[in-house]
């Protein structure tokens, strides 16, 4: 591009002549710059003056520069500018063209490599298929016995759920309770037998987590229940005892830890003292009485609203779940677990007289009528479902109404909690199944 000092008009010729003269007088570049600005009113950086002089000016003498010979160079400047723009456009298009050629070559190369790979794969001999060999039946994959824990909770015996009032979504009564209990019993047996293909199963634990009867804590329940609380308890105890008796022939040992819920309480207001004054507590005692001749079945029926039992070297805390506020959401669950740990650890210290905080590893609750699981660090918190399913309350309040279902879980003495499966219970509603539901007038007969 044309330099300022390449212009040949008369004024610039005078500037050039003056610069050469001052340089011949051995003036410095800063002094020359100041002289050009003073004499001609042109501001040029001293390094620009120096570069021009070193490349061109030093070849000239001031006496040889005649400003009168200057000509109009405006057309030359315009032409130089056009040439510069054209060169820039040329370089830009050249770069784009080279990039396009490079990309095209890369794409074509990849395509060729892909085609070659396909040809090579087709030419390879096929992999010989292995013949499936099913495992031999009755062969245990492991030798360490595992434990099965199958909670039974929220049976709500005596509740009547009218299918016409739930938009056809659910129904419940004592007859359906009997069928679903029967289905639960044989699902526990069948799933445990399937588990025996993996490892020996020698123990079944059945935590009963409360709300076993419908109760009369609400006016509408007292008005619509199938039976009064006494007969709810009696029917439930009689049928559940039959389920345990059936299970007892399939397991070397059965343990039944049991805590009360809130539906079976005998007061309208939720009590803190004597919380065991509950129809659930009475039902558990009658179930134990009906099973007293079973030498491989034992019961744990505390008066406390919570209890800890041990299984597979794990301490499992059970309670109904009505102590957990907030609808059983994650935040309320986390808060409740933190408080429970504090309570249980404090109690351990008082009993043992030491600072050995054993606490608990896992938790099982009911109450929320859904299957759920949370990791609490030391193990799972398992929320069990209900035999009842949804009802008029959940439907009218637009709450989530889950299908009648329970969970069954597996425990290893070295690992702890292994996992769970879901037992779906309403599929037995239309089957002709159930335990004997005829209670004699004299119970001892």
Pairing assessment for the beta strands 297-300 and 306-311 based on DSSP bridges: unpaired
Average pLDDT estimate for 210-217: 91
358 versus 201: the higher-pLDDT residue is: 201
CA angle, 91 then 92 then 98, to 5°: 85
Q: Give pTM, 2 decimals.
A: 0.68
**Alpha carbon distance 280, 259 (integer Å):** 8
Q: State both tokens at 119.
A: 């040809």
pLDDT in tens, 133-160: 666 665 557 889 999 999 999 999 999 9
Q: State both tokens at 164.
A: 């016409």
- 3-class DSSP assignment, residue 62: helix
Mean pLDDT, the chain, whole residue set = 83
CB 261 within 8 A of CB 210: yes
Nearest-10 crossing angle of helices 29-40, 10-24: 150
- Nearest CA-CA partner of 177 in 238, 253, 130: 238
Q: What is the CATH number of domain 146-428?
A: 3.60.21.10
Per-domain residue ranges of the chain: 4-72, 74-126, 146-428
For 316, other C-beta atoms within 10 Å of its C-beta total 26
List Cα–Cα distances, 380 to 16, 178, 373, in angstroms. Answer: 92, 30, 7
The number of angstroms, rounded, from the C-alpha of 216 to the middle of its chain's C-alpha atoms is 38
Q: Please report the pLDDT score of residue 395 as a whole number.
A: 75
The percentage of the chain sitting over the pLDDT mark of 90, rounded to a whole number, equals 44
Q: State both tokens at 370.
A: 């859904």
């Amino acid at each position: 591009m044309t330099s300022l000092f390449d212009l040949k008009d008369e004024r610039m010729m005078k500037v050039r002549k003056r610069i050469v003269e001052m340089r011949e007088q051995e003036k410095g570049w800063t002094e020359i710059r100041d002289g050009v600005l003073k004499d001609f009113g042109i501001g040029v950086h001293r390094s620009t003056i120096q570069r021009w002089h070193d490349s061109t000016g030093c070849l000239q003498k001031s006496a040889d520069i005649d400003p009168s010979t200057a000509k109009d160079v405006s057309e030359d400047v315009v032409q130089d500018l056009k040439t510069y723009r054209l060169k820039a456009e040329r370089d830009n298009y050249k770069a784009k063209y080279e990039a396009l050629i490079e990309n095209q070559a890369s794409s074509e190369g990849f395509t060729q490599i892909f085609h070659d790979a396909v040809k090579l794969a087709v030419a390879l001999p096929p992999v010989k298929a292995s013949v499936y060999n099913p495992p031999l039946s009755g062969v245990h994959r492991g030798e360490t016995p595992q434990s099965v824990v199958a909670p039974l909770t929220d049976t709500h015996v005596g509740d009547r759920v009218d299918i016409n009032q739930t938009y056809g979504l659910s129904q419940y009564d004592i007859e359906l309770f009997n069928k679903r209990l029967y289905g639960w019993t044989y699902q526990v047996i069948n799933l445990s037998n399937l588990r025996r293909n993996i490892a020996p199963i020698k123990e079944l634990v059945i935590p009963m987590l409360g709300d076993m009867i419908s109760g009369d804590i609400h006016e509408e329940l007292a008005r619509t229940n199938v039976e009064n609380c006494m007969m709810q308890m009696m029917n439930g105890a009689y049928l559940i005892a039959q389920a345990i008796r059936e299970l007892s022939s399939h397991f070397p040992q059965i343990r039944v830890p049991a805590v009360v819920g809130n539906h079976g309480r005998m007061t309208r207001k939720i009590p803190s003292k004597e919380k065991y004054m509950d129809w659930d507590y009475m039902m558990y005692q009658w179930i134990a009485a009906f099973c007293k001749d079973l030498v491989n079945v034992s019961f744990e029926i505390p008066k406390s609203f919570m209890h800890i039992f041990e299984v597979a070297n794990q301490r499992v805390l059970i309670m109904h779940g009505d102590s957990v506020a907030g609808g059983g959401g994650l935040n309320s669950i986390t808060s409740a677990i933190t408080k429970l740990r504090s309570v249980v650890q404090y109690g351990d210290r008082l009993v043992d007289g030491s600072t050995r905080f054993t606490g608990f590893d896992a938790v099982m609750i009911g109450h929320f009528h859904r299957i759920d699981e949370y990791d609490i660090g030391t193990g799972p918190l398992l929320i069990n479902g209900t035999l009842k399913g949804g009802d008029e309350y959940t439907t009218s309040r637009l709450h989530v109404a889950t299908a009648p279902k329970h969970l069954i879980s597996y425990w290893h003495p070295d690992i702890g909690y292994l996992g769970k499966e879901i037992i779906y219970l309403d599929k037995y509603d239309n089957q002709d199944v159930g335990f004997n539901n005829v209670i004699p007038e004299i119970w001892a007969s």
